[in-house]
C-alpha cells in the first residue's frame, strides 16, 4: 500500500486528502524513527452473562503477524506494539472464551505512521482501534434439561412404549374381535398345536 | 463379521456432521493437561512475613512465572513471544515483577499477586549488546527509585511506578562495550564500566537523578581483556586478560581506574586456562581452573588470595546478605547418588552454616544452578532454602535436608514423541476389584442415571466424577482391550526420555541419555526399534533414541536402546559418525528389530543393527533403497540410491556409499524452500478408491514416496507486512522421491508463508497467508491415479482384464490428476496434524493448533475439493457439505476445550486398538492429551451409556411378562371352567 502511494503522485495526493478527512479520528499516536512506528489499541470485552466467564485481561494476548510479536493488555485494556515497520500487518487477539476477528492494520509510511484498521472477517473498518469480540465461545455442549420426551424418544423408551402398547392395547383389540371368531381361531390354534403364551414359559409348562 | 460391520460403517459415518464435543462434566475424563514453565534461568524470591511466599522465575522457554514456594504450583505465568527472550527479572516496590526482554529493548511490569501486566515500555536500542537489569531494593514503597536498564547500547532509568523513561544515555560509540552497571547502595552515582575494543577500560560516573555524566576516566590495558567479568564489590571488578591466564582487578573508586594483575599461576600451581564463573559473591570470585573451582578472595587493595577450592562438579548461588553485614552463599556438589548442600559465610569459608545431604535421583544428572533464600526460624537463627535446577531441567526446592517439591520442567521442551504399548496383563495378576458389591454397582449406575437426567446435586456430580475415574481403570499399568492405555514416550531437549501414562499423564519412568564421548548429549529423535508382535514375544519392546554430542550437525551421534517396559537402557553406543538423517527401513530381522539407516555428513550411510542377519536382509534389498535430502538454504532436493560398501580407511561392512540419482533445483532468485513434508510411514489406508455420486470410481494415488514442497519468493520469506502482494508468490509441488519427477505444481500469486501442512493418504492440506485478501487460507490438494481408472468395469475385473496386478513401477510416468480447493481460515496456525486410526476406516479430522494455543478438530469433509455451492441431492446424501468461502470454527470442536497448550509446538496422533478412537498428544510448554473419536464411538458404548436404564427396562419387561403370564393363565383357567 505504502509503495503504491510512493510510486504515484496522484495517488499520493488522494491519500493525503483521505488523511486530512480522517485526521479528526486519528487512530494512534506515533513516535520513533523514520521507519518504525507504534500501533496502539484497546481490547474491550463486554461483561458476560455466562457465569465463570469473567473477562480476565491477564490471560489475553495480542499477537502481531502470526506470532512475530506478542503483547499483553494493561489493566485498562490498552495494548501497544512498538517498532512496527510501515506496511500491512495482521493483529489477532487470543482470549479464552471469545472469538476475535483478525484485524488488518495498514501503517502508512507517508503519513507518519497513520494507522488504518479493518476487521478481516466482517470487512468492517474501524475508526478507533477498539477490538471487541465477534462472539463468545462456549467450549462445552450444554446438557439439555430433563425432558420426558427425550426418554420416550430414546431406543429404550421406544422399547418400553412398544411393550406398553402390546400389553394394554392388545387385549383391547382381542376384546373387539367377535367371540365366535375368537373361539374358532383358538380351536384352530389348539389343533395346530401352536403354543400359547402360557406354554412358552417354562414354569407354565411345569405347572401343567 | 468384522468385514460386514466395516461395510456398514460408511452408512453410519455419513449420517451427520459430527464434531468433537464434550459436556462440561466430561472434561478431564479422557484428557489431561499439564502446565510447565521450562528450564529456569533466573529466580527471585519474594518471602515477606505476611502473605504467600513465592518465587518469581524466568525460563529458557520465555516464560515468566510466579510459583508457590510451599508446593511448587504455578500462581500465574506468561509465555512471551518466541523472539522475546527474557534477560532479567526483578521485583520493584515490593509489588511489581519487572522483566527485561528482547535483548534489553522491552521492559514490562507485572502485578505480583495476579500477574496482570501493569505497564510496558519499549526502550531504545541501536545494536546488540549485553542487557543488564538492576532493580533497586528498597523497602519504602512510597519513594520511587528508578530501575536502571542497559540494553541495545543505551542506559535507561525507568520509573518503577508507571514505566516512564526518566532519562537515557547513549553508549553506542564505536567499539565501546558496556560490561557492568553498578550503583553502590545509597549512592546517587551510577558507575558504567566498559571496554573499548577489549583493550581499554572506561568508567563513566553518571548522576542517577538526571543521567548526566559526572566524570569519565579511561585507561588502556596492553594485554587486552577476554570479556569475562565478575564484579566483586561496588567499586571493583575482576576480569581475565586475553590469554586467560592473568586475573586483572579493576578498581574504580571515585572514578580513578587502577589495574592490578595477578597471574593465575601465582594462585594455583600448574594451571591452564581459567574461566570466571558467574555467581556473584561479595569480595570474592569463583574461578574454574584445572577442572576445579577456586575461590579467590579480593582484598582491600585488589590483592587476590586463594581461600578454598572445590571439585569441578559444584554449582553455586550468588551471595546473599544474612544478618550482621555478613554474606552467605550456597554450593551444591555431588557424591555418588547424594548431593551435598552447603551454605557458607563468604568471609569465613570454614564457618559452614548449613550442611545437608540429600538423596538424588541419578536420572536428574548434575546440578546446574542454585538459587538461595534465607528465612528466620522461630529461634531467630537463619534457615536456608535452595532452589536448584538440574541437568534434566527439573526444578527442586530443598529445605531442611529434604526435597520439598520438584517440577519436571524438562517436559516443557519435548523434541520428539512416540507411543508404546504397555505389558499384557499376566495370568495370576488379579484385576483390581473396582465395584465391590452389586449394591454399590447399582448405586453407581443410579448416580450416573441421575447425572444424565440432570437430577444430580453438586455432591452427586463430584461422586460421579470420582466413580468414573475409578471405574474406568484407566490408570493401570497393563494393556487394555481397547488400547486406550498406552505409554507416550517423550524425548526432551535436555536429553531425557520420559514415559507418560495416557490415563493420567503421570511419569511411569524417565531416563537420562548418557554417553562416554561427551558430557551431555542432546536428544534429537525417537524411533520404534523393536515391537514384538509375531516373533520374539518374550522380548520387551524397545525404542531407539538418537542423540548428538553438541548442537552442530557434524557432531558425533549417540544411540541408546531403551526397554519400554522397564525404562532401562539396554545398550548405548557412541557411533563415531555424525547423524544427519535416520531412515527406518520397512524390514525387520528375526527378533523384530527394525533396520535403520543413518546418514552422516560425509555422504555415507550406516546400517543398524550391526548384525550379519540385518546385513543379509539389507543386501537383498540393496537396489530398492532410495532416499532424499533437502537443502533448504540452497533450494536443492536430491535423491539418493545405494552404491557400494565403504572402502578405504575404515573397513566397516555396515557402512555404504551412495550415489546421487536426481536433483530438483529451485531457482534461487524466485523460489525459496520453506516447508517440506511426507506422509507418515506407518499410516494405514483402508480404501484405495473413492466412489463418486455418479457411481464413478476414483482411485487414490496412495504412494509413500510423495514429497510436498512449498516455496515462496525470497522477498516473501519474511514476516507478514514486509512484502506487498505483487512481490510474493507461493508455489507448492508434489515430487516423487524415487524418480524426482514433479507430479503436480500449484502456484498461489500474492501469497506467502509460513506454510503449515499435513499430508495423509492421497491429500495434502496446507495453510498459508493470502496477501491480497489479507487473510489466511487453507488449500486442499487431492491426487488421484488415472491409470487405474479403466478398472471400473466389473466384467473386466472378473475376466482378469484389469491392471490391478500390474507391477507399479517408478520408471513409467504415473498418470495422475489432482483436485484442489481453497478456503479462508480466520486464525494463524502453529501446527497441523491429522487423526490416525488402527485400520484407517474412520473418517479423518484435521487437528489445527491455532495461534491461541488451542487445538481445533476440523472434519476432513470441510476440506473436500468436491464441495460445491449447491450440492445435488445425491451429493448431499453422500455427505458433501455446501461450499462456503471460509472454514467454520466451532467452539465445541476445540479438543483442548477450556485449556491452552501454551507454546504449542507439535501434535502427535496414534491409533488405539479400537478403530473409532485415536490418541492425541500435543506438546509445547504445556502437555495435553486426549482421546478422540472423529466419527463418534460407533464401535463401543460410550461412558455415558446408562446401564441402570437398561437394567430397569429389563426388570420392567420381565415383570410385565410375568404379570401378563399370570393374567393369561387366570383367563385360561376361567375359560376352561366355562
> What mean pLDDT is predicted for residues B869-895?
86
- Locate the chain A residue with the closest alpha carbon to B106: A82
pLDDT bucket at B919, cuts 50 / 70 / 90: very high
Contact list, B903 vs chain A (CB under 8 Å) = none
Task: Tell me the nearest-neighbour CA distance from A65 into chain B, angstroms.
Answer: 6
Contact list, B957 vs chain A (CB under 8 Å) = 159-160, 163
pLDDT bucket at B553, cuts 50 / 70 / 90: confident
Interface of A with B in 34-93 (CB under 8 A): 38, 57-58, 61, 63, 65-75, 80, 82-85, 87-90, 92
Task: Tell me the nearest-neighbour CA distance from A139 into chain B, angstroms.
Answer: 5
Cβ distance B339 to B360 under 8 Å? yes
- B122 and A201 within 8 Å at the Cβ level: the answer is no
pLDDT exceeds 60 at position B902? yes
Q: What pairs with residue B849 in β-bridges?
A: B831, B855
- Contacts of residue A37, defined as CB under 8 A and 6 or more positions apart, other chains included, come to A30, A31, A83, A84, A85, A86, A107, A112, A113, A115
pLDDT exceeds 80 at position B290? no
**pLDDT tens column, B28-55:** 778 899 999 999 999 999 887 667 888 9
Contact list, B122 vs chain A (CB under 8 Å) = 38, 80, 82-83
From B23, B78, B851, residue closest to A94, measured CB to CB: B851
B81 touches chain A (CB under 8 A): yes
Please give the Cα distance from B101 to B152 (Å, whole number). 11
- A138 and B956 within 8 Å at the Cβ level: the answer is no
Interface of B with A in 309-338 (CB under 8 A): none
Task: Between A106 and B462, name the one with better pLDDT.
Answer: A106
Residue B800, pLDDT score? 60
Query: pTM for the full model?
Result: 0.85
Residue A56, pLDDT score? 63
Select from B28, B721, B954 the residue whose CB has the most chain A CBs within 10 Å, as the one to mutate to test that interface.
Answer: B721
**pLDDT tens column, A24-35:** 333 444 444 456
- Locate the chain B residue with the closest alpha carbon to A159: B953
- Locate the chain B residue with the closest alpha carbon to A205: B969
Radius of gyration (Cα) for chain B, nearest Å?
Answer: 34
From B81, B116, B956, residue closest to A70, measured CB to CB: B81
Contact list, B116 vs chain A (CB under 8 Å) = 57-58, 75
B956 touches chain A (CB under 8 A): yes
pLDDT bucket at B2, cuts 50 / 70 / 90: very low
> What mean pLDDT is predicted for residues B471-487?
77
- A69 and B84 within 8 Å at the Cβ level: the answer is yes
Task: Between A50 and A103, name the one with better pLDDT.
Answer: A103
Task: Tell me the nearest-neighbour CA distance from B630 into chain A, angstroms.
Answer: 26
Lookup: cell for B820: 484442489
Please give the Cα distance from B149 to B156 (Å, whole number). 5
Please give the Cα distance from B422 to B487 (Å, whole number). 6
From B22, B953, B968, residue closest to A160, measured CB to CB: B953
pLDDT exceeds 80 at position B464? no
Residue B586, pLDDT score? 87
**pLDDT tens column, B672-718:** 999 999 988 888 888 888 877 777 778 888 888 899 999 998 888 87
Lookup: cell for B435: 465395584
- Locate the chain B residue with the closest alpha carbon to A99: B891
% pLDDT > 70, chain B: 89
Residue A62, pLDDT score? 92
Please give the Cα distance from B505 to B12 (Å, whole number). 33
pLDDT exceeds 60 at position B934? yes
Number of neighbouring beta carbons within 10 Å of residue B592: 17
B894 touches chain A (CB under 8 A): yes
Interface of A with B in 107-136 (CB under 8 A): 118, 120-121
pLDDT bucket at B268, cuts 50 / 70 / 90: confident
- The ipTM of this complex is 0.82
Residue B943, pLDDT score? 65
pLDDT exceeds 90 at position A135? no
Residue B650, pLDDT score? 62
Please give the Cα distance from A133 to B541 (Å, whole number). 50
pLDDT exceeds 80 at position B726? yes
- Locate the chain B residue with the closest alpha carbon to A144: B454
- Locate the chain B residue with the closest alpha carbon to A97: B898
Mind spelling out the 3-state secondary structure of B197-256? CCCEEEEEEEECCCCCEEEEEEEECCCCEEEEEEEEECCEEEEEECCCCEEEEEECHHHC
Lookup: cell for A15: 491519500
B745 touches chain A (CB under 8 A): no
pLDDT exceeds 80 at position B174? no
Task: Tell me the nearest-neighbour CA distance from B725 into chain A, angstroms.
Answer: 9
A94 touches chain B (CB under 8 A): yes
% pLDDT > 90, chain A: 4
Task: Between A135 and B856, name the one with better pLDDT.
Answer: B856
Contact list, B754 vs chain A (CB under 8 Å) = 66
A102 touches chain B (CB under 8 A): yes
- Locate the chain A residue with the closest alpha carbon to B965: A198
**pLDDT tens column, B256-265:** 778 888 887 7
Residue A11, pLDDT score? 38
From A102, A143, A204, residue closest to B454, measured CB to CB: A143
Name the DSSP class of B312.
S
Contact list, A1 vs chain B (CB under 8 Å) = 724
- For the four alpha carbons of B468, B473, B479 and B480, in that order, the dihedral sign comes to negative
- A138 and B900 within 8 Å at the Cβ level: the answer is no
Lookup: cell for B885: 468461502
Residue B708, pLDDT score? 94
Task: Tell me the nearest-neighbour CA distance from B65 into chain A, angstroms.
Answer: 13
Select from B74, B117, B456, B756 the residue whose CB has the most chain A CBs within 10 Å, as the one to mutate to test that interface.
Answer: B117
B524-to-A149, B513, B559, B974 alpha-carbon distances in Å: 57, 11, 10, 87
From B774, B830, B953, residue closest to A156, measured CB to CB: B953
From B118, B892, B963, residue closest to A75, measured CB to CB: B118
- A87 and B722 within 8 Å at the Cβ level: the answer is yes
- A156 and B455 within 8 Å at the Cβ level: the answer is no
Task: Tell me the nearest-neighbour CA distance from A24 into chain B, angstroms.
Answer: 26
Minimum mean pLDDT among B169-183, B319-333, B482-496, B784-798: which range? B784-798
Contact list, A156 vs chain B (CB under 8 Å) = 949-950, 953
Mind spelling out the 3-state secondary structure of B594-656? EEEEEECCCCEEEEECCCHHHHHHHHHCHHHCEEEEEECCCCEEEEEEEEEECCCCCCCCCEE
> What mean pLDDT is predicted for residues B724-741?
88
Mean pLDDT of chain B: 83
Cβ distance B730 to B748 under 8 Å? yes
**pLDDT tens column, B832-859:** 999 999 888 888 999 999 998 999 999 9
- B852 and A1 within 8 Å at the Cβ level: the answer is no
Task: Tell me the nearest-neighbour CA distance from A114 into chain B, angstroms.
Answer: 15
From B117, B775, B776, residue closest to A72, measured CB to CB: B117
Minimum mean pLDDT among A140-154, B223-237, B356-370, B654-668: which range? A140-154
Residue B588, pLDDT score? 87
> What mean pLDDT is predicted for residues B109-129?
86
Q: What pairs with residue B399 in β-bridges?
A: B385, B402
- For the four alpha carbons of B476, B478, B482 and B485, in that order, the dihedral sign comes to positive
Select from B851, B944, B972 the residue whose CB has the most chain A CBs within 10 Å, as the one to mutate to test that interface.
Answer: B851
Helix axes A155-164, B947-977, angle to 10 degrees: 10
- Total residues found in chain B within this entry: 978
Amino acid at each position: 500500500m505504502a509503495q503504491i502511494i510512493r510510486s504515484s503522485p496522484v495517488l499520493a495526493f488522494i491519500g493525503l486528502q483521505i488523511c486530512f478527512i480522517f485526521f479528526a479520528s486519528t487512530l494512534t499516536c506515533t513516535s520513533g524513527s523514520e521507519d518504525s512506528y507504534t500501533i496502539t489499541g484497546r481490547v474491550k470485552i463486554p461483561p458476560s452473562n455466562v457465569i465463570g466467564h469473567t473477562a480476565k485481561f491477564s490471560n489475553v494476548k495480542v499477537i502481531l503477524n502470526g506470532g512475530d510479536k506478542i503483547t499483553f493488555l494493561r489493566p485498562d485494556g490498552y495494548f501497544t506494539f512498538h517498532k512496527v515497520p510501515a506496511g500491512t500487518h495482521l493483529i489477532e487477539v487470543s482470549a479464552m472464551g471469545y472469538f476475535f476477528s483478525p484485524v488488518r492494520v495498514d501503517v502508512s509510511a507517508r503519513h507518519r505512521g497513520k494507522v488504518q484498521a479493518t476487521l478481516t472477517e466482517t470487512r468492517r473498518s474501524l475508526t478507533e482501534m477498539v477490538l471487541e469480540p465477534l462472539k463468545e465461545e462456549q467450549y462445552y455442549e450444554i446438557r439439555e434439561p430433563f425432558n420426558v420426551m427425550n426418554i420416550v424418544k430414546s431406543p429404550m423408551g421406544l422399547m418400553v412404549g412398544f411393550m406398553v402398547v402390546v400389553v394394554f392395547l392388545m387385549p383391547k383389540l382381542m376384546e373387539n374381535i367377535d367371540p365366535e371368531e375368537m373361539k374358532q381361531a383358538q380351536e384352530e390354534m389348539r389343533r395346530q398345536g401352536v403354543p400359547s403364551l402360557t406354554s412358552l414359559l417354562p414354569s407354565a409348562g411345569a405347572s401343567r | 463379521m468384522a468385514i460386514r460391520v466395516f461395510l456398514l460403517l460408511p452408512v453410519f459415518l455419513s449420517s451427520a456432521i459430527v464434531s468433537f464435543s464434550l459436556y462440561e462434566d466430561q472434561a478431564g475424563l479422557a484428557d489431561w493437561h499439564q502446565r510447565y514453565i521450562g528450564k529456569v534461568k533466573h529466580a527471585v524470591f519474594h518471602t515477606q512475613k505476611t502473605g504467600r511466599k513465592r518465587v518469581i522465575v524466568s525460563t529458557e522457554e520465555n516464560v515468566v512465572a510466579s510459583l508457590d514456594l510451599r508446593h511448587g504450583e504455578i500462581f500465574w505465568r506468561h509465555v512471551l513471544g518466541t523472539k522475546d527472550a527474557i534477560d532479567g527479572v526483578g521485583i520493584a516496590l515490593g509489588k511489581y515483577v519487572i522483566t527485561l526482554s528482547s535483548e534489553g529493548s522491552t521492559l514490562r511490569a507485572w502485578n505480583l499477586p495476579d500477574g496482570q501486566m501493569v505497564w510496558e515500555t519499549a526502550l531504545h536500542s541501536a545494536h546488540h549488546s549485553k542487557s543488564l537489569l538492576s532493580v533497586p531494593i528498597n523497602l519504602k514503597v512510597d519513594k520511587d527509585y528508578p530501575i536502571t536498564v542497559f540494553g541495545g547500547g543505551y542506559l535507561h532509568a525507568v520509573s518503577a511506578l508507571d514505566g516512564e523513561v526518566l532519562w537515557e544515555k547513549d553508549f553506542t560509540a564505536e567499539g565501546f562495550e558496556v560490561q557492568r552497571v553498578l550503583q553502590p547502595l545509597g549512592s546517587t552515582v551510577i558507575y558504567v564500566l566498559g571496554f573499548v575494543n577489549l583493550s581499554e577500560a572506561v568508567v563513566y560516573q553518571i548522576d542517577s537523578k538526571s543521567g548526566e555524566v559526572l566524570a569519565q576516566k579511561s585507561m588502556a590495558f596492553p594485554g587486552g581483556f577476554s570479556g569475562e567479568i565478575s564484579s566483586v564489590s561496588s567499586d571493583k571488578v575482576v576480569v581475565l586478560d586475553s590469554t586467560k591466564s592473568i586475573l586483572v582487578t579493576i578498581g574504580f573508586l571515585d572514578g580513578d581506574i587502577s589495574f592490578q594483575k595477578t597471574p593465575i599461576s601465582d594462585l594455583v600451581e600448574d594451571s591452564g586456562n581459567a574461566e570466571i564463573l558467574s555467581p556473584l559473591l561479595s569480595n570474592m570470585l569463583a574461578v574454574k581452573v584445572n577442572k576445579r573451582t577456586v575461590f579467590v578472595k579480593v582484598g582491600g587493595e585488589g590483592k587476590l588470595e586463594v581461600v578454598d577450592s572445590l571439585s569441578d562438579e559444584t554449582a553455586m548461588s550468588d551471595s546473599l546478605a544474612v544478618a550482621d553485614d555478613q554474606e552467605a552463599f550456597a554450593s551444591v556438589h555431588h557424591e555418588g547418588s547424594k548431593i551435598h548442600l552447603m551454605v557458607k559465610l563468604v568471609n569465613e569459608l570454614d564457618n559452614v552454616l548449613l550442611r545437608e545431604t540429600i538423596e538424588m535421583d541419578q536420572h536428574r544428572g548434575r546440578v546446574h544452578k542454585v538459587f538461595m533464600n534465607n528465612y528466620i526460624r522461630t529461634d531467630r537463627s537463619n534457615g536456608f532454602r535452595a532452589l536448584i535446577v538440574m541437568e534434566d531441567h527439573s526444578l527442586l526446592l530443598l529445605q531442611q535436608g529434604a526435597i520439598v517439591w520438584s517440577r519436571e520442567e524438562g517436559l516443557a521442551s519435548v523434541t520428539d514423541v512416540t507411543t508404546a504399548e504397555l505389558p499384557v496383563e499376566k495370568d495370576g495378576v488379579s484385576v483390581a476389584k473396582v465395584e465391590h458389591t452389586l449394591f454399590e454397582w447399582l448405586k453407581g449406575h443410579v448416580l450416573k442415571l441421575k447425572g444424565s437426567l440432570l437430577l444430580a446435586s453438586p455432591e452427586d456430580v463430584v461422586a460421579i466424577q470420582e466413580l468414573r475415574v475409578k471405574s474406568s481403570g484407566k490408570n493401570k499399568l497393563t494393556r487394555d482391550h481397547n488400547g486406550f492405555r498406552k505409554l507416550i514416550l517423550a524425548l526432551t531437549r535436555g536429553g531425557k526420555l520420559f514415559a507418560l501414562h495416557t490415563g493420567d499423564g503421570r511419569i511411569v519412568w524417565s531416563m537420562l541419555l548418557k554417553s562416554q564421548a561427551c558430557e551431555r548429549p542432546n536428544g534429537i529423535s525417537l524411533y520404534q526399534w523393536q515391537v514384538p508382535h509375531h516373533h520374539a514375544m518374550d522380548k520387551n519392546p524397545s525404542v531407539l533414541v538418537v542423540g548428538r554430542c553438541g548442537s552442530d550437525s557434524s557432531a558425533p551421534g549417540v544411540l541408546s536402546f531403551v526397554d519400554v517396559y522397564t525404562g532401562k537402557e539396554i545398550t548405548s553406543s557412541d557411533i563415531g559418525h555424525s547423524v544427519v538423517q535416520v531412515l527406518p527401513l520397512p524390514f525387520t530381522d528375526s527378533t523384530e528389530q527394525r533396520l535403520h539407516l543413518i546418514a552422516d555428513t560425509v555422504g555415507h550411510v550406516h546400517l543398524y543393527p550391526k548384525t550379519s542377519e540385518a546385513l543379509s536382509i539389507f543386501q537383498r534389498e540393496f537396489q530398492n533403497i532410495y532416499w532424499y535430502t533437502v537443502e533448504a538454504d540452497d533450494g536443492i532436493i536430491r535423491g539418493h540410491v545405494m552404491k557400494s560398501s565403504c572402502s578405504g580407511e575404515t573397513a566397516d561392512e555396515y557402512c555404504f556409499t551412495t550415489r546421487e540419482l536426481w536433483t530438483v533445483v529451485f531457482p534461487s532468485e524466485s523460489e525459496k524452500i520453506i516447508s517440506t513434508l511426507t506422509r507418515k510411514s506407518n499410516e494405514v489406508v483402508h480404501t484405495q478408491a473413492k466412489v463418486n455420486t455418479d457411481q464413478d470410481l476414483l482411485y487414490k494415488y496412495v504412494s509413500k514416496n510423495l514429497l510436498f514442497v512449498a516455496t515462496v519468493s525470497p522477498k516473501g520469506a519474511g514476516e507478514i507486512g514486509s512484502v506487498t502482494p505483487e512481490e510474493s508468490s507461493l508455489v507448492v509441488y508434489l515430487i516423487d522421491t524415487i524418480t524426482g519427477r514433479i507430479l503436480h505444481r500449484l502456484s498461489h500469486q500474492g501469497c506467502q508463508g509460513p506454510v503449515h501442512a499435513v499430508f495423509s493418504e492421497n491429500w495434502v492440506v496446507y495453510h498459508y497467508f493470502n496477501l491480497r485478501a489479507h487473510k489466511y487460507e487453507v488449500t486442499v490438494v487431492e491426487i488421484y491415479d488415472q491409470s487405474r481408472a479403466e478398472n471400473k468395469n466389473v466384467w473386466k475385473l472378473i475376466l482378469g482384464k484389469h491392471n490391478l496386478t500390474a507391477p507399479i513401477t517408478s520408471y513409467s510416468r504415473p498418470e495422475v490428476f489432482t483436485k484442489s480447493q481453497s478456503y479462508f481460515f480466520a486464525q494463524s496456525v502453529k501446527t497441523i496434524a491429522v487423526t490416525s486410526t488402527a485400520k484407517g476406516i474412520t473418517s479423518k479430522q484435521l487437528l489445527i493448533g491455532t495461534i491461541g494455543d488451542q487445538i481445533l478438530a476440523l472434519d476432513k469433509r470441510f476440506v473436500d475439493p468436491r464441495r460445491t455451492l449447491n450440492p445435488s441431492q445425491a451429493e448431499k446424501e453422500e455427505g458433501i457439505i455446501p461450499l462456503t468461502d471460509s472454514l467454520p470454527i466451532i467452539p465445541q470442536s476445540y479438543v483442548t476445550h477450556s485449556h491452552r497448550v501454551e507454546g504449542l509446538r507439535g501434535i502427535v496422533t496414534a491409533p488405539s486398538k479400537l478403530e473409532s478412537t485415536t490418541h492425541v498428544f500435543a506438546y509445547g510448554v504445556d502437555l495435553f492429551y486426549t482421546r478422540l473419536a472423529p466419527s463418534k464411538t460407533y464401535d463401543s458404548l460410550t461412558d455415558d451409556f446408562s446401564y441402570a436404564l437398561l437394567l430397569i427396562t429389563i426388570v420392567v419387561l420381565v415383570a410385565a411378562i410375568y404379570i401378563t403370564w399370570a393374567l393369561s393363565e387366570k383367563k385360561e383357567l376361567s375359560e376352561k371352567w366355562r
